[in-house]
Amino acid sequence: MLVRDSLSPRLVVNNTHVVEHLFVCINWCSKSYILGGTYIPPNSPDTIYESHARAVEELYYEHPDALFLLCGDYNLPGGRWADERFVLCEPGNVGECFSECCDFMELSQMNRLPNSRGIFLDLIFSSDNKVLVDYAGDTLLENSVHHFGYSIVIPRSDHFCVSDLTDSDSLTYDFKNCNYTELNNYFHSVDWSFCSSFDIDRAVAYFYHVVYNGIEMFVPKRVRGRGTFPHWFSKELKILIKRKKKAHARFKASNLPDDYEVFRDLRNQCKIESRKCFDTYCLFLESRIRSDPKFFWKHISRLKGTTNLPDKMSFSGVESSNSGEICELFAQFFGEVFIHEEIVPPPVDIPETVDFNTLSFSLAEVFDGISGLKCTYSCGPDSIPSFLLKQCIFSLSAPLCDLFNNSLKEFVYHLLYLSSSIS
């Protein structure tokens, strides 16, 4: 079992050694998960299944709030689907004890994809019935007659959590230098029919799974961090400064007058070029105050050295460190600036009843909506910038249209779309 270090994996110890199984606990999105891998040989006695069930129940008592995901080759050829419920075995047969354990822990068997013989040998049990299982497109081992590779997606319907896509806090995705041709080819190769056939929760989860998989494959990573030079330095000035440092080191080592003359000339050039760059930047900054005030305030933030808000704020003699009270202070401040006047809304002919079954988004509307987005590399809560959406507009417009119409069809506005970044 391979687990990323960013998920804080730890081997869960249990006292059962007669069964070939492995359990790992991970943390993701402030939630604990127990991942299990199991192999039970064919024609194993019932004591093997009893030992495995006992180990799983012990983990359940030790981690009552964890989500369980147990995968493995259980070699119960009698397993079958019956009326939307998976039957592990018939009463009195081998494996009945583990079936009772699954019922007790409310574990559902999520694999609906049998092997080439139509038999369910590889089983996937989860305490979340929204887990998505599909055939894996990229497998570690080749598929065989009895076993296939499977892809398992765990949806999170409460919030986005994609910060663990990079293995280090020092790395970030470089969307500017992405290979968008290959990324679009990947998106065009995907069967997006699930966007309209799955329920909205599963469809949204699998949509983001596909998009994040494309980002992981085709968007390069770069080291996060700020450069050593001020942002207004030109390329020529940076080169001069590097040459000056080398000349200074050479003079310190030799102490020769000729080396000092070279160093002095470069130092004077750096001073002249630095003043020129700064004056040019100030003129550019002043020219954009009205057209792009955000650029000006970004400059102020750089001067302050931090963009974090202070822990305490005050207004009209009232000081607070509570976020809700601070918001009220801001409301009071802006309330004194704006003129309060009664606005009479214009008369609008609104029908008394609306048939949502007649509402739908057209592909052209979604296409125009993406086209109208402001082109930026900054990301929202889902870590997908508008620049990527605009670059992949021809490959993502159709699945997004299906998702929106699926939401209207089910009368459900997905919780993930209620998240937003406020700046």
Bridge partners of residue 26, in order along the sequence = 33
Same domain, yes or no, for 10 and 146? yes
Structure-model confidence comparison of residues 157 and 316, the more confident one: 316
With a cut of 60, say whether residue 321 has pLDDT above it.
yes
Top-confidence range, 1-15, 102-116, 233-247, 315-329: 233-247
Name the band, by pLDDT with cuts 50, 70 and 90, for residue 256: very high
- Could you give phi then psi for residue 298, rounded to 5 degrees? -65, -35
Same domain, yes or no, for 10 and 143? yes
Look-up of token digits 């019922």 = 103
Q: What's the mean pLDDT when you consider all of the chain?
A: 83
Query: What is the tally of structural domains in the chain?
Result: 2
For residue 375, is it within any domain? no
Same domain, yes or no, for 135 and 244? no
Same domain, yes or no, for 10 and 133? yes
CB-CB contact of 174 with 187 (8 Å): no
CATH of the domain at 44: 3.60.10.10
pLDDT, one tens digit per residue, over 55-113 is 889 898 888 889 999 999 988 877 777 656 677 777 777 778 888 888 888 888 888 88
CB-CB contact of 124 with 151 (8 Å): no
Angle at 231 between CA 227 and CA 237, to 5 degrees: 90
pLDDT for res 172: 83
Look-up of token digits 């009220």 = 328
- Could you give phi then psi for residue 181, rounded to 5 degrees? -65, -50
With a cut of 60, say whether residue 164 has pLDDT above it.
no
Of 153, 186, 210, the position where a domain reaches its end is 153
CB-CB contact of 56 with 123 (8 Å): no
For residue 270, is it within any domain? yes
For residue 51, is it within any domain? yes
pLDDT for res 8: 85
pLDDT, one tens digit per residue, over 351-381 is 777 777 778 899 999 999 999 998 888 887 7
Distances from the Cα of 246 to the Cα of 236, 252, 253, 280, angstroms: 16, 10, 11, 27
Same domain, yes or no, for 19 and 143? yes
Structure-model confidence comparison of residues 155 and 412, the more confident one: 412
With a cut of 80, say whether residue 260 has pLDDT above it.
yes
For residue 130, is it within any domain? yes
Same domain, yes or no, for 242 and 149? no
* Domain membership of residue 28 as a residue range: 5-153
With a cut of 60, say whether residue 153 has pLDDT above it.
yes
pLDDT for res 163: 45
Distance CA 350, CA 354 (A): 9
Name the band, by pLDDT with cuts 50, 70 and 90, for residue 226: low
Of 254, 272, 304, the position where a domain reaches its end is 304
CB-CB contact of 111 with 150 (8 Å): yes
Percentage of the chain beyond pLDDT 90 is 24
For residue 275, is it within any domain? yes
Same domain, yes or no, for 135 and 240? no
With a cut of 90, say whether residue 272 has pLDDT above it.
yes
Same domain, yes or no, for 117 and 17? yes
With a cut of 60, say whether residue 168 has pLDDT above it.
no
pLDDT for res 248: 93
Q: What is the DSSP string of 146-197?
A: S---EEEE---SS----GGGSSSTTEEE-GGG--HHHHHHHHHHS-TTHHHH
Of 276, 304, 332, the position where a domain reaches its end is 304
Distances from the Cα of 48 to the Cα of 59, 64, 308, 370, angstroms: 17, 24, 57, 56
For residue 106, is it within any domain? yes
Average pLDDT over residues 321-325: 83
Same domain, yes or no, for 149 and 257? no
With a cut of 50, say whether residue 167 has pLDDT above it.
no
Name the band, by pLDDT with cuts 50, 70 and 90, for residue 254: very high
pLDDT for res 24: 93
Average pLDDT over residues 156-174: 57
Same domain, yes or no, for 143 and 18? yes
Same domain, yes or no, for 245 and 130? no
Coil, strand or helix at 82: strand
pLDDT for res 2: 86
Count of Cβ atoms closer than 10 Å to residue 66 Cβ: 19
For residue 298, is it within any domain? yes
**pTM beyond cutoff 0.85:** no
For residue 220, is it within any domain? no
With a cut of 60, say whether residue 166 has pLDDT above it.
no
Distances from the Cα of 42 to the Cα of 102, 312, 325, 385, angstroms: 20, 66, 65, 50
Same domain, yes or no, for 31 and 136? yes
Top-confidence range, 40-49, 223-232, 265-274, 289-298: 265-274
